[in-house]
């Protein structure tokens, strides 16, 4: 990672036109190396299902854009204390169904696996909400960073900007859900309190993964610098 590319980053509020770029990033970080997903196109469809399954819970997001490369390299998406927006839910649900429908072009097995992945994601988030030890009035729904840009403070900056927005909306206690397939030690290092951990198994295109899930929390008395 060069200093030149760090200096070329633009941070701004996420807008609808960024959705495809976020999906590209999710594809690279979470699905690109999964050999059981048969093609790059299907990996992108899976990432589309995953991303738009999360977005109904997002009320504000910030993207980090490499202006030289012309791509999104980091995202933080958060929820404040407001209620879920029905129109936003319907909009993203339609994106999920559109991606699943496109899977038919790759055969019935791919279509069935995309349907199963949607069900798996629903099961996962239902369990997360059941497991949470207390009520939170803010949430980091998604934070993701291109591996090529790690180690330069970008993730910390995105996270702090997300927390600052939550604070501006009146949030006092923010949660974040992750697992041991991610760099969860990052949150330990920043001083987030680990509120709960529990075992979890999930399936992606016929392969079962066993993980440890973590629920972290942050009291917004201040936003770290």
pLDDT given for residue 3 in this prediction: 43
Q: What does the pLDDT read at residue 224?
A: 65
Say if residues 98 and 186 touch (Cβ distance below 8 Å): no
The answer to whether residue 57 scores a pLDDT higher than 60 is yes
Instruction: Set out the domains of the chain in order of their start, with CATH numbers.
Output: 3-219 (3.40.630.30)
Q: pLDDT per residue over 145-195, tens digit each?
A: 999 999 889 999 999 999 999 999 999 999 999 999 999 999 999 999 999
Q: Rounded CA gap, 26 and 46, in Å? A: 10
Q: What is the mean pLDDT of residues 43-63?
A: 95
Q: For 31, which DSSP code?
A: I
Is residue 24 a contact partner of residue 72, using CB atoms and an 8 Å limit? yes
pTM of the model: 0.92
């Amino acid at each position: 990672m060069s200093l030149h590319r760090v200096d070329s980053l633009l941070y701004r509020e996420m807008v609808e036109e960024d959705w495809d770029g976020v999906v590209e990033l999710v594809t690279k970080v979470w699905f690109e190396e999964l050999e059981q997903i048969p093609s790059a196109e299907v990996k992108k469809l899976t990432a589309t299902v995953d991303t738009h399954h999360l977005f109904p819970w997002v009320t504000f997001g910030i993207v980090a854009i490499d202006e030289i490369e012309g791509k999104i390299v980091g995202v933080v998406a958060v929820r404040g204390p407001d209620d879920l927006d029905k129109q936003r839910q319907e909009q993203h649900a339609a994106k999920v169904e559109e991606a699943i429908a496109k899977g038919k072009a790759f055969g019935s097995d791919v279509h069935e696996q995309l349907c199963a992945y949607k069900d798996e994601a629903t099961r996962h988030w239902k369990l997360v909400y059941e497991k949470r030890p207390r009520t939170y009035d803010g949430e980091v729904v998604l934070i993701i960073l291109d591996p090529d840009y790690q180690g330069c403070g970008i993730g910390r900056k995105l996270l702090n900007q997300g927390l600052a927005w939550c604070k501006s909306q009146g949030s006092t206690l923010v949660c974040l859900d992750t697992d041991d397939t991610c760099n969860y030690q990052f949150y330990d290092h920043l001083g987030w309190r680990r509120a709960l951990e529990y075992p979890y198994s999930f399936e992606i295109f016929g392969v079962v993964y066993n993980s440890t899930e973590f629920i972290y929390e942050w009291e917004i008395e201040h936003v770290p610098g």
